[in-house]
Amino acid sequence: MLLLLLAPTTLNAQSNAAGKQVFDILKYGAKGDGVNLDSPAIQKAIDEATKAGNGAQVLIPGGHRYLVGTIQLKSNIDFHLDGDAELYVSTNPKDYINDAVIIANDVNDLKISGTGSINGRALEFMTHYSKETEIYMPATWRPKIFILTNVRILTSVISLLGLLPTGVCICLGVRMWSSTISRSETIWKSLIVMASIPIIAAM
């Protein structure tokens, strides 16, 4: 009976060169076709990696576009966007909790790594381009990319694409070490982190 209880985690987890357990989201049902919602499968992998602890890696394999709603990151994991992996933000409000893509609350020793990206699909959340103000006008609803509360991030390397000029992030008590965030310039200063609540950062 004990073997049966352990089977799901054991069968889906591998180890990387650093000896950390790796939880590949494709083994938890993610499709990576940009059509089917993959955030539930990603969340399953995160939850299992959290149980394993010790910096276990949640692997988002490259070569795929993953349609996502809300993903809740947790402590003691490495959320790894491998290669050209792309998190593709859903336009359906029903796919979200608290209207955010990435949420984390009271999280320690979180690592976000890899060369993948988060695509915010900005133009699909805008109504029109204003010639008067020379900016795109956002629709009534759009998700934030991050809502982070009391989070300690050890390493963060993120590429953000197609984001709205406001409302990207709400952060409270966030501490970051060795963080690099790059962003697309294609849509009017596409990334502005809205620090409506203080961010504590050590770069």
pLDDT in tens, 142-170: 888 888 888 887 665 667 665 554 445 55
Count of positions (residues) in the chain? 203
Predicted model pTM:
0.78
pLDDT grade for 87, boundaries at 50, 70 and 90: very high
- Asked if residue 23 lies in contact with residue 49, where contact means CB atoms within 8 angstroms, the answer is yes
* Cα Rg, the chain, nearest whole Å: 17
CATH number of 18-183: 2.160.20.10
Cα pseudo-dihedral 175, 83, 68, 113, rounded to 10:
-10
Report how far residue 59's alpha carbon sits from residue 81's, in angstroms, rounded to the nearest whole number.
7
Could you give phi then psi for residue 40, rounded to 5 degrees?
A: -60, -40
Report how far residue 145's alpha carbon sits from residue 155's, in angstroms, rounded to the nearest whole number.
18
Domain ranges of the chain: 18-183
Q: In this model, does residue 189 exceed pLDDT 70?
A: no
pLDDT grade for 137, boundaries at 50, 70 and 90: confident
pLDDT grade for 135, boundaries at 50, 70 and 90: confident
pLDDT in tens, 38-78: 999 999 999 999 999 999 999 999 999 999 999 999 999 99
